[in-house]
Every structure is written in structure tokens, then in C-alpha cells.
Amino acid sequence: MFSKILVANRGEIAVRIFRTCREMGIRTVAVCSDVDRGAFHVGQADQLVALGGDQPAESYLAIDKIIKAAMDTGAEALHPGYGFLAESPELAAACERAGLTFIGPRSDVLALVGDKIAARELARKAGVPPTAGTDMPSDNRQDLQRQADSLGFPLMIKAAAGGGGKGMRRVERPESLSEALELAASEARSAFGDGRLFLERCIENARHVEVQILADGQGNLVHLFERECSIQRRHQKIIEEAPSPAVNDALRDKLTEAALIVAKAAGYTNAGTVEFLLDDRGNFSFMEVNARLQVEHPVTELITGIDLVEQQIRIAAGETLSTSQQEISCHGHAIECRIYAEDPARGFMPSPGTICAMDFPSGPGVRFDSGVRQGSIVPVDYDPILAKLVTFAADRERAAARMARALQETCILGVKTPIEMLIDIVESKHFIKSNTFTDFIKRYFIDWKPSKARERVALMGWLAAQLADQGSEESSRQLRRNREHLGPGGGHRDDPWHRLGRFRSWD
């Protein structure tokens, strides 16, 4: 087993990985950019290497600096988290050259599954049909236009180098194709340096269902059931759950078998996810392989009781999987809400800033993986994820009620968050009835606004605080007058109303 691991990431995922390392008795190294020197994650590791710079390219994406940090601190393995370099064949190869263990698949496997078209081809050959599409990535507009005409509308434009919803666009009508192609290509070029696009047919009432797999270096392969992640904004997931309410045992057998076939065909090792699109008749098709730990991995951990980060580390260290497929079972229901710094009432516009007050939710069945605490700066430079709230209960209905309760306990002030909207979603009849399709937000919550009734409560509270404040000012004046009469120690007053006036100021 490793004695020291460097985590090449920031925020909640770095904190989450450090926690498992500590439980396993493994020492940890954090890295940080200049803007993150005071970030929550840097304090959670045994050692810290400052990479310098604010821009991701100068810090969390700088392979040379990260490899040097690992060598200098004597780390034996490197965990990439998700995002940044998590699926970079270049980082995996650099680790291989430097004699470091990359906690993830081999560089050639990352390169294979990272090429969306190659992955689709692989799945098709293995007998798992991908979503209907043209599979002819191109940066030629006329070419793509011809492909679109033969595929039909509505269709989905995707980036060949895609990920994180970048370059993805749904096109309803032929008239809007040209502009959408241009925007998607420009987004793909700036995100991946590759403007090639391909087209997929849209499936109506589709759900995003994915299977978690684990594969060791000895050829053992298991699945940890499925997750459903249909509720998305800008093609990025915001609510995930396990198991999927749309998957019965027969379908689960077929889905998990298909996932294992694809992973085996790719020569996959370590933890990974095979994503599928599921239509309302129970037909599913392959979308892609995510060759990393997923943001939403906690829901799987809660229903299986397996620590995925521990498994990743053990597999990377060369251990054989200790559990067989028969020993892995699924209990209860878990739901995760991602809490981003963004304003859901204004098109999910990013909301950087400083967290001036924060209360964590707690209680039965609540897990809160946070990358921030009171006083944290939320910089403009990185992904807006602040924390993930996960609830677990015996069934879906109870897990949803628990989520609403836990969200109501989650106080994050100083930046905008979607917490209020998430409460309304998990309490909505569409969510309760599992009408969770990939267009859920667009269909039911596009015009969502904060509740006026709740705002009135806020103003009542604010008003009461102002009045108490004025009252305590008056009573202090009274107190001073009394003291003058009574001498030292006289007229002492200690009640909450007296203390209420002293708001902490955060500028």
C-alpha cells in the first residue's frame, strides 16, 4: 500500500479523497493555486505544495508542476479527482514515466474512451448499440448539414472531444442548425482545442442512467448498480439518485451486463462509469465511458456501503478486488443535490464571492461533502461547485423528504446558491412521481423564482433584528445612565436581545 498520495485537485473532491486516505493511514499532499492558498482543502492534507498562478493552466492543469510536486514530496501515487486532469492520458503517461502510480485507468485506456467516437465504435463492436448518430466527426459545416438532413430533427450536436456539456446543443428545426453548429464549434474549440462535432438523434422522454463499475488489474470486474442523473441544467447534472426509479430488476440485469461488456472490451481498470440513455419503453443505448471518479459517486457508496475512493486506491496499489459480484448488494435509496455558486433565478449565472456565514446540515441519513466553510473565498477561476448534499433512507420517498429537510438546514450566505430551488424540486409532484427526464428543468422549472412568501419571512426576521438592535442601543444608553448613578458593576443586563445587536461584519 502507498504511504503518501498527492491529490491533484481542489474543493470538495480533494477534501473527500483526503478523508479516505486518513482512514487508511496514508499521508496526503495537497496542491493549490495562488488564489486557493487559504482554501478549505489545503488545510486538510499533511503537506501542501503551492503551484502558483490563478488560471487553471498555471496550476491544476500544469502537468509538469504537479509531477514535480509529487516527486519533491515523495508521494508514490497521484489521485486526479474529477474535472481538471482526471481523464488526461497525458497526465497518466507522465506519471507512468516518472514512476508514480496514477489512480485511474492506464493512459492508453484513457485515450481510447476519451475519444467519444472511438468509444462508440468500441461499444458497437462489443454488441452494445450506441445512441443513434452519424459517427462522422467533422469541422466542415456543409458536411455536418448533410449528415443532419439524413439523421432528421430534433437532433443533438456534440463535441468529438466533449465533456461537461461543452459544445452540446439541441437543435429542434433545420433552420436553427447553422447557428447552433457555429456556437457549438466555437465552444468546443475554446474548451478542448478541437472544434470537431458529431450529431446524435434526440430521444424524447429520455433518462440519463449510468452504471458504476470497478475493475482490478487481475481481470476481475464488478458493477455497483446504476445511478440516475436525469435532472440537469446546461447538460450538467444537478440531482442524482441511486437506484434509478425507472429501472426494474430485469432491466438492471441488462444494463449492468452491458456496462461490464463495454468496460471489458476497453481493457478498463479502476473505477469508472458507463453512461446510457434510457427511453420510456425501457430501451437503452450507450453514450460514453467516464474514466474517473464521478461527482455523484456518494449515492452509490450509500446504497452499497462501499468506499469507492478506497477501492480506487487499492486497485491502483495492485490489490485484487476483495468482493465478488454476489457479495455486493444494494439497500435503500440515496439522493444527491449539487450545490453550486450560481443564481437559478437568473439562468444559473455564476456567483463568485466570499462565504460570510455557513451552517452544515446534519442528522440521520445526511452526508455533506463540502469544499468550503465560513470565510472561504469562491473564486471566479474554477468550477462553481461548493458542496454536495446526499441523503439516504429506506426508500425514495423518505430519502426525498430527508433531502428537503436537510436542504432547509443548509445555510450558505455570501454567494447565490440553488438551495431554495432544490427544495422546490424535491418537493414537487414531478420529482415525487419520478418524472425525471433529461429536460426536467426546462419542462417544469424554467420560470422558477424565489418564493414571495419566504421573502416576507426574511423581511420579518430582518425587521425584528433591526428593532432588537435599536432596543439594545437604547438600553445601552439607559445602562450608561444607570451606571453613572450606580457606579461600577451596576445595571448589568444579559439577555439574548441585548446580544442580538452585535452582527458580525464581513467586508
Catalytic residues: 292
DSSP state of 244: -
| Identified binder of another protein from the candidate list 176, 419, 428, 491, rule CB under 8 A | 419
In the set 1, 71, 357, 486, which binds another protein (CB under 8 A)? Answer: 357
Spatial neighbors of 216 by CB under 8 A, at least 6 apart, are 269, 315, 319, 320, 321
CA 434/CA 244 separation, integer angstroms: 9
Q: Give whole-number Cα distances, 18 to 142, 158, 197, in Å.
A: 50, 35, 38
CB of 290 to another protein, least distance (A): 18
Nearer to another protein, 133 or 384 (CB): 384
Q: CB 363 → another protein: shortest distance, Å?
A: 15
Contacts of 158 (CB under 8 A, 6+ apart): 116, 167, 168, 197, 198, 199, 200
The nearest distance, CB 109 to another protein, in angstroms, is 26
Q: Does 324 bind another protein (CB under 8 A)?
A: no
Q: How many CB atoms lie within 10 A of CB 416?
A: 21
What are the cell numbers at 342? 450560481
Residue closer to another protein (CB basis): 311 or 351: 351
Among 1, 71, 98, 349, binds another protein (CB under 8 A): 349
Three-state DSSP at 438 gives coil
CB of 133 to another protein, least distance (A): 26
DSSP state of 206: -
Contact by Cβ (8 Å): 91, 103: no
- 345 scored as a contact of another protein (CB under 8 A): yes
Residue 77, H or E segment: strand 77-79
Among 280, 462, 478, 481, binds another protein (CB under 8 A): 462
Q: Please, which residue, 117 or 399, has the CB nearer to another protein?
A: 399
Q: Which is nearer to another protein, 136 or 356 (CB)?
A: 356
Asked whether position 182 contacts another protein by CB under 8 A, the answer is no
Strand partners, 387: 339, 370
**Residue 151 or 356: which CB sits closer to another protein?**
356
What span, in angstroms and rounded, lies between the C-alpha atoms of 196 and 442? 27
In the window 396-415, what residues touch another protein (CB under 8 A)?
Answer: 407-408, 411-414
Q: Is 461 in the site for another protein (CB under 8 A)?
A: yes
| DSSP code string of 17-47 | HHHHHHHHT-EEEEEE-GGGTT-GGGGGSSE
Q: Tell me how far, at minimum, the Cβ of 472 lies from another protein, in Å.
A: 9
Q: Which of 403, 423, 425, 441 touches another protein (CB under 8 A)?
A: 423
CA-based nearest residue to 227, from 84, 103, 330, 81: 330
- What cell does 396 get? 425514495
Q: Are strands 77-79 and 101-102 parallel, antiparallel or unpaired?
A: parallel
Residues 190-229 that bind another protein (CB under 8 A): 190
Binding of another protein by 346 (CB under 8 A): yes
Q: Which is nearer to another protein, 394 or 460 (CB)?
A: 460
Q: Does 258 bind another protein (CB under 8 A)?
A: no
Give dist(CA 150, CA 261) in Å, integer. Answer: 30
Applying CB under 8 A, which part among 25-33, 326-334, 434-442, 467-475 lies near another protein?
467-475
State the Cα–Cα distance between residues 28 and 70, nearest whole angstrom.
10
504 counts as binding another protein under rule CB under 8 A: yes
Min separation Cβ 462 and another protein, Å: 5
Interaction of residue 447 with another protein, rule CB under 8 A: no
Q: Does 353 bind another protein (CB under 8 A)?
A: yes
The distance of closest approach from Cβ of residue 413 to another protein in the complex, given in angstroms and rounded to an integer, is 4
Is 382 a residue that touches another protein (CB under 8 A)? Answer: yes
**Given 62, 185, 341, 393, the residue binding another protein (CB under 8 A):** 341
Residue 361's identity, in one-letter code, is P
Which C-beta is closer to another protein: that of 306 or that of 468?
468
Question: How many residues at the interface with another protein, by CB under 8 A?
Answer: 62
Ordered DSSP codes for 363-397: STTEEEEES--TT-EE-TTS--EEEEEEEEESSHH
We find the least distance from the C-beta atom of residue 359 to another protein, in angstroms, to be 7
Report, in Å, the least distance between residue 401 CB and another protein. Answer: 14
Q: Per the structure block, which three cell numbers stand in for 36?
A: 486557493
At residue 284, φ and ψ (nearest 5 deg) are -125, 155
Which positions ≥6 away from 288 have C-beta within 8 Å?
113, 116, 119, 120, 275
Question: Contact between 456 and another protein (CB under 8 A)?
Answer: yes
Identify whether the C-beta of residue 135 lies closer than 8 Å to the C-beta of residue 291. Answer: no
Q: Which of 108, 257, 359, 397 binds another protein (CB under 8 A)?
A: 359
Q: Which of 306, 401, 468, 479 binds another protein (CB under 8 A)?
A: 468
Nearer Cβ to another protein (352/491)? 352
Site residues (vs another protein, CB under 8 A) = 164, 187, 190, 234, 341-342, 345-346, 349-353, 356-357, 359, 380-384, 407-408, 411-414, 416-417, 419-420, 423, 449-451, 454-465, 467-468, 471, 495-497, 499-507
